[in-house]
Amino acid sequence: MRIAFTHAELEEILTPWKIDGQRIAFVPTMGALHAGHVSLMQLAREYADKVVASIFVNPTQFAPHEDFEHYPRQEAADMDKLEESGVDLVYLPLESGIYADGLEPYVQPGSAAEGLETLFRPHFFGGVVNVVERLFSHIQPDIAIFGEKDFQQLQVIREMVETYNMPIRIIGGPIVRDSEGLALSSRNAYLSPEELAVARQMNKILLRIASLREPARLEAIQKAPQDLLAAGFDKIDYVQPRWNRLLAAAWLGKTRLIDNVPLA
C-alpha cells in the first residue's frame, strides 16, 4: 500500500497508473475506520483497478462548538485496516495541503442541502463540498464512493458533481450495522454502555415506522420524536421523510447520531 502526504507525492504515484489506463476509485474518510468504511473500500474494488482512500478530518465541516478537537484519531489502526482491505494508495494530506489557497469556498452546495442537517449544522455541507471538491481535484478519480449512512450528504455530492460537470461517477454504499441494527459510526466510540443500548433503539423505531402504511405512517413520523425521547434519547433534531427514506438525527448526551431507512 502506497502512502502520499502531499499533492506532489500523490501525482507521482497516480500519473503512471492513469497513463496505464487504470480506473481509479476514491473513498474519502475522516479516519477512525470501522466495518462501514471497509465495506466502501471493498465496493470501490468492484468498480476500479486502483482504490485510493483518504483520511482527513476536515476542519471546515465542524462548527466551533463541535467535536473537531476530540474527533477520534487512530492512524496506526486505520492504516492496518486499509492495508487489509487491499487499498492501493492512502492520501493523508495536511490541512495546509488541502487549503493551500485558504478556506475560500470554490463550490456551493445545492438544493439537496436544504433542510434536515442544514437546519442544525448550517456550516456542514459547505465544508463537505469544499473538501470533496479539493480532494477530487487532487485525485481526479473515475469513481467516488460515499456511504448511504450520510444519505443527505450523498445527495449533496451527486448534485455537486452534476452542477459543476465533474467527470466522476458517484456510487452509494449500503449502511453497515452492528448485530442489533445500530449504524456503525466513528462517533459511536463516544457512547457509554448505557447510551449504546439507547442508540440501538433508533434503527428499530425507524424500521417500525417505515413498515406502516399511510396514513398511519405519517402519524407515526410525527410521533417519532416522542418515541425516541421515551427510548432515552436526549434531544431530537429531526425525523423526516425525503428521497423515499426516513431520515433521523438525535442526541445522546454530547453525541449526535444520524440514521436512515428505506420507505417502501
**Residues designated catalytic:** 37
- Nearest distance in Å: CB 50, ligand AMP: 19
Q: How far is the CB of 12 from ligand AMP (least distance, A)?
A: 25
Interface positions, 46-105, toward ligand AMP (CB under 6 A): none
Which C-beta is closer to ligand AMP: that of 212 or that of 238?
A: 238
Judged by CB under 6 A, the stretch of 30-38, 63-71, 90-98, 134-142 that binds ligand AMP is: 30-38
Stretch that binds ligand AMP, among 15-23, 118-126, 143-151, 242-250 (CB under 6 A): 143-151
Residue 115 backbone class (left: φ over 0; alpha: ψ -120 to 50; beta: rest) = left
Q: Work out whether strand 255-262 and strand 24-29 pair parallel, antiparallel, or are unpaired.
A: unpaired
Q: Is residue 37 a contact residue for ligand AMP (CB under 6 A)?
A: yes
Region for residue 94 given its phi and psi (left: phi exceeds 0; alpha: psi -120 to 50; beta: otherwise): beta
When binding is defined by CB under 6 A, the residue of 56, 146, 190, 233 that contacts ligand AMP is: 146
Which range, of 28-36, 70-78, 215-223, 236-244, touches ligand AMP by CB under 6 A? 28-36
When asked if residue 256 is in the footprint of ligand AMP (CB under 6 A), the reply is no
45 grid coordinates: 474494488
What lies within 8 Å, CB to CB, of 116 at 6+ separation is: 152, 238, 240, 242, 247, 249
Burial of 164 (0-12, 13-18, 19+ CB in 10 A): middle
| Strand bridging mode 255-262 / 50-55 | unpaired
Q: Is 66 helix (H, G, I), strand (E, B) or coil?
A: coil
260 contacts ligand AMP (rule: CB under 6 A)? no
Among 4, 173, 255, 256, binds ligand AMP (CB under 6 A): 173
Examine residue 166 and tell whether it contacts ligand AMP (CB under 6 A).
Answer: no
Q: What three-state secondary structure class fits 73?
A: coil
Rounded distance, CA 159 to CA 225, Å? 29
Q: Kindly state the smallest distance separating residue 122's Cβ from ligand AMP, in Å.
A: 18
User: Could you list the residues that contact ligand AMP (CB under 6 A)?
Assistant: 29-30, 36-37, 39-40, 146-147, 149-150, 173, 175-176, 183-186
